[in-house]
Structure 1
Amino acid sequence: MPHDTTLIGTIVAGLGVAFLMAALAQRLRISPIAGYLLAGILVGPFTPGFVADTGLAMQLAEIGVILLMFGVGLHFSLKDLLSVRKIAVPGAIAQIAVAWALGIMLGLWLGWTIEGSAVFGLALSVASTVVLLRALQARDMIETEKGRIAVGWLIVEDLVMVLALVLLPAMFGDRGDAAGGDQLLQSAAIVLLKVVGFVAFMFVVARRILPWVLHWVAHTGSRELFRLAVLAIALGVAFGAAVIFDVSFALGAFFAGMILGETQLSRRAAEETLPLRDAFAVLFFVSVGMLFDPNVLVEQPGPVLATVAIIVVGKSLAAFALVRAFGHTTQTALTVSVSLAQIGEFSFILAGLGVGLDVLPETGRDLILAGALLSILVNPILFTLAVKRIRTDAAPEPVDMAREESAALCNAGVVLIGFGRVGSHIGTLICGRGEGLTVIEDQKDMAAAARATGATVIVGDATKESILRQAGLEEASTLLIAIPEGVEAGAIVRRARAINPRLVIVARAHSDEEVADLVRRGADHVVMAERETAARMAERAMLTLV
């Protein structure tokens, strides 16, 4: 070829094979993550055929981590973060200590040095950002107490790993010889100063500049420029945080998102980054699969099982006990413990650094990669079992008045999905007449606006049957779907029709294809904005001609 196409080949192979394997996983009714991981193994260096560039794949995956943490930050406030500090800080540190000790014991049992065993244990102690957040987002748990604790826990783990990545070269940089205590204290102090400096910079300087920039761009009216600004802020702050302050990409992106989340443009910023976020998150799982050598399962089955047991069982039990010890419910403890029962990107970095410093044997890196892949593979299954256990065993959880009022107001009433530009006008008209209205909305700012009109609000994803039932759809007379996404609207129509065959469903669409699809799925009336606008304009024109 006339020029190097390694990057293009890696992206095409990663996304293309991931699509095929995810489609197969969907057909088999298993998590698509399994398909992404299998795709990585197929295009990796340990299987025959095409081999993608592992180094490039890892860098592309890092972009996915940045965008994912930026998106979480958009829905996470400083108040949310501080509200869980009393459990997240001591809990994360104690859980890291338990997993670290278990890893050290396994390493010593395998005949490694104490230093290598310590690096191995540390790599097993930190959860994957991508896996944890994807699991929470899939179940609408990010903004719940359970989700806030898990995310806060994750941030503390990230900070500990940043400290470890700086201290390891200081300790073993000279052919594995341990450094002196003064040097270690000096390195630790520098790291802490940089972290404090980064946080201070974000809340003193960036908190004033970034929202102003985004508002200025929004007022230009250019959607393309707004999208570019959001991506530049997310990636730029993350990269700057890593280069200047030596903190992780993920932590920098999270703080950038959290600052922009305080603005009214947070919802739009989240929507603009969503497609890239999903695409690069897929590449993360593909990159994990590329690092995995299946031969380790045959050559070292015992150590592999022990490693997975530490990650899935040891870490989970420690986290469960710690959350319960801090007085939280069994449901919260179960959710947090299962969400942390995997390892990921920081584990790979630690493993590579340990091998590079001649501290961790290459066998340890193989076990870490095997443990990561297997724990990521079983994590969605564990999450599903945990959610079922919570629903089965838990006493009726205390629900807010919004949910209780929902059942009453939805009797022969109206349910509105989406409180954006269209939904807010609908809601204001209905509530202005004194009619009962229940709104389903997944964004906090929109939910607050709906409550201000007097509507009952259910915060959640309307594509999920449980949320529709929670809104009392079985007894409602009318369902109004005001969201602009045609695919999601179609899924909602299909589920709503199955829940209540007598329901009158009115939806909106933007094309003839969407109209036909919504009608086919069960919508009674579909309003297409362009048609209605044309009809009203023609009607006005005809009046002037009379």
Structure 2
Amino acid sequence: MPLAAAVEGSHFGADMVVVGLLFVLAWGLGRLGKLIGLPAIPVYMLVGLLASPYTGWFPLDLEGDYIGLIAVMGLVLLLFNLGLEFDQDEFFGNAGKLLVSGGTYILVNMAVGLGFGFLVGWGTPEALIIAGITATSSSAIVTKLLIELGRLTNRETPMILGITVVEDVFIAIYLAIVGVVLSGETELWPVVGRLALSFTFIVVMFAIARFGGRVVSRLMRTKDDELFTILFFGLAVLFGGIGELLGVTDAIGAFLIGLVLGATRFRNRIETIAVPLRDVFGAFFFLNFGLALDASAFGGVLVPVLAAVLMTVVLNIVAGQVVARLNGLGAQEGINTTVILQNRGEFALILATLSLSAGLDERIQPFAGLYVLILSIGGPMLAAQSERIGGVLLGSRRRKRRGAAGSTATTPRAARPNAMTAEEIALVEAAMSGEPGERSSSDHERDEPVAGGHRDTN
């Protein structure tokens, strides 16, 4: 077909205008949301919900698969960046303490969430999905809140970040199990075989990330930023597809290759380019999820959602205090932990998307959407007031703690092992903003410390 005829017959123009307007609307609502401390995730979902074909407010044609394909790229990049930012040194260096804290938090939420899923009565696979939706925090929202609320120096912050690291490992294992369950396989040995293949893939990729950073660095070496971007983006999509074919889902395939590339000396360089890509494509993922929501279906899941929200808040109150005590922290630190970790986001939506593609109960999608909207809007608001909440609940003990905090303001770091140094704070902020700190573009090919304790000296 001649080019002119192709352009004349193209039907993308109107859709491009609508999608562009939706992103501008997301920008406007996002600016307003920042004034009250809202993260971007619920804003994108709300814009998608407004533009949903069920409302008829926007003339957006959803019959094609191109928006869905872009949303899949968003999912891949979200999990790729999660793997890229995974702190192997923190995990392997403090594995015992992290597993106790993070494992306790996950175990409490997962066990009760699974019981709640069965109580809802939608089916066994649905109960497993509901348990995953309600069990883990949104690491993106958690880290951004710690930065925006100025709490990187708080005593509980290293513990909170450690719990999110353990949650990342749990997500990898959980998605592998969910992938097998949703495959519909019922015979014992095929199920065992698929699980063995999934876990072998995970173990091998973790081993490469831990011990193969130097080799992978050599394979990725190039001074051309364009080719470098094409390479890591292609690897993210490739391993997403491999993960899907192996039955561990595209999300976990992308997470694992991100983990491997995060172990190279090019980690900062990749983050500088990948974070803006993640933000744009990730916005499509959340927008697309909102587009698939029917607000009229919220009424049918309202009671289970409100029960799930109440359950999450109560469980996080208990778990926050338990993990705080396990780490030698007080009641206020437990309250701060509770309100930060109760935020839910991208992982819940990923599970809902997987359940929809697997043909599970259609109520899972509006359940996850409304659940995430409530917690991702209310959670940050509560987090911003946690100090005041603690002051009201703890009374005189809170005033005493303020006095003690004043006396420790000049205490050396050695006497306050749970505090974060200025360098550590800068690293966390740089990781979230995608900035490689003091690093200039001419330093791309210089040696950098490799995650996991390895360094490429070549």
Query: If the length of structure 1 is used for normalisation, what is the TM-score?
Result: 0.60
Alignment of 1:473-488 (within 5 A): none
The one-character-per-residue Cα deviations of 1:75-112 (angstroms, maximum 9, x if unpaired) are 65421121343244455555444434434544555454
Alignment of 1:531-542 (within 5 A): none
- State whether structure 2 residue 176 is matched by structure 1 residue 163: yes
Alignment of 1:154-303 (within 5 A): 154-169=167-182, 172-173=184-185, 179=186, 181-205=188-212, 207-214=213-220, 216-218=221-223, 222-229=224-231, 231-232=233-234, 235=237, 240=242, 243=245, 246=248, 248-260=252-264, 263=265, 265-303=266-304
Aligned equivalent of 1:22: 30
Q: Which runs of 5+ in 2 are unaligned?
A: 1-7, 392-397, 416-421, 431-437, 441-458
Aligned-partner SS, 1:188 = helix
Contact 1:169 1:357 in 2 (8 A): yes
Change (3 A) 1:194 1:398: farther
In 2, Cα distance between the equivalents of 1:388 and 1:110?
Answer: 35
Aligned equivalent of 1:123: 133
Aligned equivalent of 1:41: 49
The one-character-per-residue Cα deviations of 1:158-194 (angstroms, maximum 9, x if unpaired) are 1232232233135x44xxxxx3555544433332222
Change (3 A) 1:35 1:114: closer
The one-character-per-residue Cα deviations of 1:243-284 (angstroms, maximum 9, x if unpaired) are 568361452254134213xx2x54444333343233334334
Aligned equivalent of 1:151: 164
- The higher radius of gyration belongs to 1
In 2, Cα distance between the equivalents of 1:249 and 1:12?
Answer: 30
In 1, Cα distance between the equivalents of 2:148 and 2:72?
Answer: 21
Alignment of 1:456-471 (within 5 A): none
Q: Which moved more, 1:70-79 or 1:297-306?
A: 70-79
Contact 1:87 1:323 in 2 (8 A): no
Contact 2:143 2:161 in 1 (8 A): no
Task: Give the AA of the match of 1:46.
Answer: Y
Aligned-partner SS, 1:217 = coil
The one-character-per-residue Cα deviations of 1:325-367 (angstroms, maximum 9, x if unpaired) are 5324246644554343244444344445556666x53334422
Contact 2:321 2:334 in 1 (8 A): yes
In 1, Cα distance between the equivalents of 2:342 and 2:363?
Answer: 22
Q: Which runs of 5+ in 1 are unaligned?
A: 174-178, 405-438, 445-458, 462-481, 485-546
Aligned equivalent of 1:492: none
Alignment of 1:305-320 (within 5 A): 305-311=306-312, 313-320=313-320
Change (3 A) 1:45 1:82: farther
Contact 2:118 2:124 in 1 (8 A): yes
The one-character-per-residue Cα deviations of 1:60-84 (angstroms, maximum 9, x if unpaired) are 4454455455556556542112134
In 2, Cα distance between the equivalents of 1:483 and 1:187?
Answer: 43
The one-character-per-residue Cα deviations of 1:489-525 (angstroms, maximum 9, x if unpaired) are xxxxxxxxxxxxxxxxxxxxxxxxxxxxxxxxxxxxx
Task: Give the AA of the match of 1:246.
Answer: V
Change (3 A) 1:209 1:234: farther
In 2, Cα distance between the equivalents of 1:136 and 1:208?
Answer: 33
In 1, Cα distance between the equivalents of 2:284 and 2:36?
Answer: 21
Change (3 A) 1:341 1:399: farther
In 1, Cα distance between the equivalents of 2:226 and 2:113?
Answer: 49
Contact 1:103 1:124 in 2 (8 A): yes
Change (3 A) 1:374 1:81: same
Aligned-partner SS, 1:362 = coil
Aligned-partner SS, 2:385 = helix
Aligned-partner SS, 1:117 = helix
In 1, Cα distance between the equivalents of 2:120 and 2:274?
Answer: 45
Aligned equivalent of 1:506: none
Contact 1:10 1:53 in 2 (8 A): no
Contact 1:87 1:326 in 2 (8 A): no
Contact 1:40 1:287 in 2 (8 A): yes
The one-character-per-residue Cα deviations of 1:99-126 (angstroms, maximum 9, x if unpaired) are 3443454455545445543443333223
In 2, Cα distance between the equivalents of 1:361 and 1:223?
Answer: 45
Change (3 A) 1:361 1:36: closer
Report the structure, 1 or 2, having the larger strand content: 1
Task: Give the AA of the match of 1:375.
Answer: L
Greater relative contact order (CA < 8 Å, ≥ 6 in sequence): 2
Change (3 A) 1:256 1:348: same
In 2, Cα distance between the equivalents of 1:140 and 1:254?
Answer: 28
Alignment of 1:1-12 (within 5 A): 2-5=9-12, 8=16, 11-12=19-20
Task: Give the AA of the match of 1:212.
Answer: R
